[in-house]
Structure 1
Amino acid sequence: MNKVKKWLFISLLISLVSGLIVVLVTFDAGTIDALLSIRPEFILAGILLHGLSYLVWGMRIRALCQSLGHRIGVLRSVEIVTSGSFAASITPSSLGGEPVRIHLLHLDRVPLGKASAVVIGERVLDGIFILSLAPFSMYVFSRILDNPTFDVLVSLAEIFLLGILFLSLYAIWRPEQTKKLAHLVVRKIAPVVGTRTDAKLESILDRVDSELENFHNSVAFFVKEDRKGLLIGVFYTLMFWLVEFSLLYVILLGLNQYPDVLVVFASQVLVMVLMAIPATPGASGMAEFGATTIFSVFVSSSLLGITVVAWRALTFYMNLIVGSFVSFRILKDTEFMKKYLR
């Protein structure tokens, strides 16, 4: 329990401090006027939308399990994803969510191999979706800013993201060659970051092999054995992100702002890319400052701070509140989380 509290405290502290800094830097007389004219019905709609995202996410994991011959109720599926969202919110790059969801699926008599295929398959679908949209999102922003320097940065970033997407697809097609490439990169980087002992290096290489095998096997399973389940997963993935990306637009409507929907969606794709960097638990700090920079393109400075805080409240704090309630009061399954977070 102490480990869980420690990670939770660190995640909350970084997020709260970052949010406070953003608000203080952007606060002015216009901010007060905006707060006084907030339309609460849209804030409530944002809460309901994020609640709907839990349901859509739960339906995705339920449908994938059902396609593999294992029935899980809708309520139980929602419990699994919200419990996993709590662990994801207090671990770097949201990596804690997957082991928790796999564990809870296994408790519902889904074999570990199939549970891993479902959960890792979900993450692969999300990753491919975001990476595929990232170049288009950068193009949208380059048209708005019309800045030659930004255009160069966008071009380099697009090449980098497309490279990641290509490597991900190549890892599915040729896992053994991908392992050799990953080993080469790790051996080159390890001395630079201070990993000099053979034992430590071998441990890292074993972890790389394990992750690549899980990645390949999970995707290959659905591609070869259950393409219908894969198509269902793609459908629910599109629905999930449509609901999630609608949150920011609804928040801005509540602040009497009417931005371009396409720009709002594109901005969140870029924020998701930044949040994938495993820097802090739950991407705290990275999310607030990254969102502030990107949202500033279409949100006025007076409203920027409260917009970021409201968006983060729905996408982060709500996950903590709902996820902790499910994990500790309904599921009462904290032993695995404590073991994982040690």
Structure 2
Amino acid sequence: MNRALWLLGAGLVMVIAIPLVLGGSGLGGQLRQFPLDTFLLMLGMIVMCWNLNAGRLRLLLAGRGGHLGQRRAVGMVMATEFAISATPGGSGGPLTLMGLLSRQGVRPAQATAVFAVDQITDMLFFLSALASIGLYALSHTIDLRLGWMLAVPALLLIIGFGLLAALGKHHRRLLKTSGRLLRWLKVRHRSRVKLARGLIHFRHALVETLALPRLTLSLIFLLCCAHWLLRYSILYLAVSGLGQDIDWSWTFIVQMLSLAAGQLTLLPGGAGGAELSSTALLSPMIGAASAAAAVVIWRAVTFYFYLIAGAPVFFVMAGRSMLGSLLKRRSAAT
């Protein structure tokens, strides 16, 4: 647990330290001139994101686990986002959400299915967004030499959808193959049966979730789009608030690549990698000082604010025992 806390502390320091080093002496002046009303607007957008995700969660549950009000759903989302920001690779987020749903009375298979469909809608949004930005790039003055920024993540998403489709179509073969593998590894028969039963229950819960009315699924996807469009407009507002002109699509791509690079650091919130890559991508367009200032503001809103606002909610809803369990598990893994 101590090791996990050290990792979190290192992440908090690197979020600020890297932009300070890369921004140079002009960073302070850039931050002082940033409009307060724009910063408050950005915080308000994050609060709206929490409410949108809470609405999506309520629709996905569709009454399973009893009545879930908007206020409690927002609390679940805030606690989950806190766990994502506080653990390496965001791995604590799914465990927190499923733990909270379990306390709500949702069965583990149903909670896992809800999380899986939530992730599928996210993937579908990003694939759609990349395709739209690609079409936009073809008709506007955007450097086409950077097309790999669109092609690589789009290809990975397409491969991901292909794997999901293959798993869904050949799930029986997967169960048989995994059973033989576990038997070869000398896993006990009872454990193999328990795992197979869990996978079957998960598949049934997934089919049940995907069988929601089309109108409900469409609304879930619209809420997903609204959330990510707001969330990925934060960096654009940070750059614009500093008096710099940049295309929104560039800030979208920068955030996608930077957050992906941040996962390689194995620090909470992708600290270090996200700051280094985003500053490097923005500097040629708006200058080092402005890029570093924009990154500091962006991360203050999408990292520090998630920790500060989410921590008390997490402790109220999940409790110290769940936090200790998460930190110990991630510390052992790293």
| TM-score bucket of the superposed structures, by smaller chain | 0.7 to 0.9
Given the alignment of the two structures, is residue 16 of structure 1 paired with residue 13 of structure 2, yes or no? yes
Structure 1, gaps ≥5 residues long: 187-197
CA distance in 2, matches of 1:212, 1:78: 29
Over 3 Å counting, the alpha-carbon distance change for 1:85 and 1:233 in structure 2 is: same
Equivalent residue for 1:264?
251
Structure 2, gaps ≥5 residues long: 329-334
Q: Deviations over 1:29-50 (max 9, x none)?
A: 4x34423422111011111111
CA distance in 1, matches of 2:198, 2:303: 26
Equivalent residue for 1:70?
66
**Which stretch of the first structure deviates more once superposed, 40-49 or 119-128?**
119-128
Given the alignment of the two structures, is residue 231 of structure 1 paired with residue 228 of structure 2, yes or no? no
CA distance in 2, matches of 1:213, 1:295: 47
CA distance in 1, matches of 2:177, 2:136: 33
CA distance in 1, matches of 2:164, 2:50: 27
| Residues 1-342 of structure 1: pairs in structure 2 closer than 5 A | 3=1, 6-29=3-26, 31-66=27-62, 68=64, 70-134=66-130, 144-147=142-145, 155=151, 158-176=154-172, 219-275=206-262, 279-296=266-283, 298-328=285-315, 330-331=316-317, 333-342=319-328
Q: Deviations over 1:238-276 (max 9, x none)?
A: 111011012112222321223222222233233344355
Deviation at 1:308, TM superposition (A): 0.8
Q: Secondary structure at the match of 2:233?
A: helix
What stretches of structure 1 move > 6 A for 4+ residues in a row?
A: 138-143, 178-183, 208-215
Q: Which amino acid aligns with 1:250?
A: L
Q: Is the 1:57–1:240 contact (alpha carbons within 8 Å) kept by the matching residues of 2? A: yes
CA distance in 2, matches of 1:266, 1:254: 19
What TM-score, normalized by structure 1, do the two folds share? Answer: 0.77
Over 3 Å counting, the alpha-carbon distance change for 1:166 and 1:134 in structure 2 is: farther
Q: Secondary structure at the match of 2:211?
A: helix
Deviation at 1:95, TM superposition (A): 1.9
Q: Is the 2:7–2:268 contact (alpha carbons within 8 Å) kept by the matching residues of 1? A: yes
Identity of aligned residues (%): 22
Q: Which amino acid aligns with 1:66?
A: A
Q: Is the 1:130–1:272 contact (alpha carbons within 8 Å) kept by the matching residues of 2? A: no
Over 3 Å counting, the alpha-carbon distance change for 1:42 and 1:227 in structure 2 is: same
Q: Is the 2:109–2:201 contact (alpha carbons within 8 Å) kept by the matching residues of 1? A: no
RMSD of the alignment, in Å? 3.8
Q: Is the 1:93–1:280 contact (alpha carbons within 8 Å) kept by the matching residues of 2? A: yes
Deviation at 1:158, TM superposition (A): 4.7
**Which stretch of the first structure deviates more once superposed, 89-98 or 262-271?**
262-271
Q: Matched residue pairs, number?
A: 321
Q: Is the 1:89–1:319 contact (alpha carbons within 8 Å) kept by the matching residues of 2? A: yes
**Which stretch of the first structure deviates more once superposed, 130-139 or 86-95?**
130-139
CA distance in 1, matches of 2:260, 2:206: 21
Q: Secondary structure at the match of 1:27?
A: helix
